[in-house]
Amino acid sequence: MDKSLKPIFLSLLLGFILLSGASFAQQKPLLERQVTVTFEQKPVSSVLDQVAAQAAFVFSYSSSAIDVTRLVSGNFENQSVREVLEGIFQGEVHYKERGNYIILTPAPVSKKEVTVSGYVLDEKTGERIRNATVYDPITLQSSVTDEYGFFEIQVKNPAAEDYKLIVNKA
């Protein structure tokens, strides 16, 4: 290669690698993107705007179905968007990803069955554990954690005093 073209080629290659890395970073699911937000007695709508701006996506919801005027407080440092939403709504709102949107809908009210979700973490390191099985030993209802250690499972009568979920990872 001509010595005069080598710096240009290296610059182009480096630029391509940097752009590819930025593009790859945005491929992380919206609910798994990490944010840092602190808010004290702020309307939910304001907090959602702050999270969406930081994580580069858009929330979609009906303000007649979700009370976005309610005041909330919280401190989330390097937490997933999912964890922030759980902290704000505490199970009262369901969310799903569609393209560059997270759609918020009210959670159905059912006393018979509820959705339990969360992350499975290594006790010693605090790292999230992928491909762990989470199950109800009574009903044998089960779920497997995703690549981010997140699970979601439908359970019956979780209010029972001796209710427990079992986590198993080979």
Q: What is the structure's pLDDT at 48?
A: 96
pLDDT in tens, 80-109: 999 999 999 988 898 899 999 999 998 877
| 27 vs 145 pLDDT, higher one | 145
101, 120: one domain: no
pLDDT in tens, 118-157: 899 988 998 999 999 998 887 788 899 999 999 988 887 6
Domain count, the chain: 2
Last residue of a domain, one of 63, 87, 106: 106
Tokens 């989330």 belong to which residue? 76
Q: What is the structure's pLDDT at 14?
A: 45
Q: Report d(CA 153, CA 134) in Å as an integer.
A: 8
Q: Report d(CA 86, CA 33) in Å as an integer.
A: 14
Q: What is the structure's pLDDT at 119?
A: 92
pLDDT in tens, 34-62: 999 999 999 999 999 999 999 999 999 99
Q: How many CA atoms lie within 13 A of 96 on its CB side?
A: 5
Q: What is the structure's pLDDT at 8?
A: 54
Last residue of a domain, one of 106, 134, 151: 106
Statement: residue 18 has pLDDT above 60: no
- Domain assignment of residue 78, given as a range: 30-106
Q: Is the dihedral of CA 81, 83, 86, 87 positive or negative?
A: negative
Total residue count of the chain as it appears in this document: 170
Q: Report d(CA 144, CA 55) in Å as an integer.
A: 26
Tokens 């309307």 belong to which residue? 43
Q: What is the structure's pLDDT at 71?
A: 94
96, 117: one domain: no
Max Cα separation, the chain?
Answer: 76
* Alpha carbon of residue 107 to chain centroid: 16
Does 93 map to a domain? yes
Does 10 map to a domain? no
Does 84 map to a domain? yes
Residues whose CB falls within 8 Å of the CB of residue 105, separated by 6 or more in sequence, listed in order:
61, 65, 66, 93, 94, 95
Helices 81-89 and 44-55 cross at an angle (nearest 10°) of 180
Does 67 map to a domain? yes
Does 3 map to a domain? no
Q: Can you tell me whether residue 30 is helix, strand or coil?
A: helix
Statement: residue 3 has pLDDT above 80: no
